[in-house]
Amino acid sequence: MTKLLEVNNLTGGYGSIQILNGINLYVDHGEFVTIIGPNGCGKSTFIKIIFGMANRYEGKVRYKNRDITGWRADTLVNNGIAYVPQINNIFPSLSVYENLQMGGLNLLNNELSERIAWIYEIFPDVEKRSKDIAESLSGGERQMLAISRALISKPSFIMLDEPTAALSPKFRELIIHKISELRSMGITVLIVEQNARLSLSLSDRGYIFSNGKVIHTSTALEILNDKNIGRYFLGAPNKN
């Protein structure tokens, strides 16, 4: 495999508050990679720095062998990178259809219509609610809409921050499986996820963050089967 994203010695945070302390990480073309770790360890900050939503102090970010360090969010989107934040990821006062339109403001009408039709094939439940105001959606439906809006740009790489947080078990399973299916469409996935076992069960590899550093990385299967990791990072000891 060839590296799609490569991050070297990334440090950063918010203003003068440093969160990351030298992160090294890569994602290969076509992979599903999950980042796990305790609350406050820098998982979400890491993605936000890549997407220009938090401060980078040092380090480099490369995408498709190009240095994208410090690029603006709109430039990243135009180069095939999408980001779905954990909160404030939809426009609640707009309809579902209008939210999708907002994801393709720079597209011609016929192209936008084609992409919305493509989204409806992936998320038929979004089509069912297309005329409804977004704030009327359930938590799981909102998350599907947020992902759908990000996909309107037809990204080759998508980053998601805690997409199953506070969702019912039914929607957690649905959302993670839908995210996994994106790989069959040529979309590489990097996800920060608190429901670690669920996400890792569908992932290729995983990274464990702690105190702003990568403390372990391995295949997802090896992480899931490591009893010590299970005890401290996956919510319960592994019983295998």
Strands 17-28, 66-67: parallel, antiparallel or unpaired by DSSP?
Answer: unpaired
Helix residue ranges, H only, 67-123? 73-78, 96-102, 109-122
> Under DSSP, is residue 193 helix (H, G, I), strand (E, B) or coil?
coil
Label residue 123 by pLDDT band (50, 70, 90).
very high
Beta bridge partners of 191: 34, 160
Output the pLDDT for position 68.
97
pLDDT over 80 (residue 157): yes
Rounded-to-integer distance, Cα 36 and Cα 210, Å = 9
Tell me the whole-structure pTM to 2 decimals. Answer: 0.94
Work out the percent of the chain whose per-residue pLDDT is above 90. 90
Label residue 240 by pLDDT band (50, 70, 90).
very low
Strands 66-67, 205-210: parallel, antiparallel or unpaired by DSSP?
Answer: unpaired
Output the pLDDT for position 235.
60
Q: Are residues 165 and 86 in contact, defined by beta-carbon separation less than 8 angstroms? A: yes
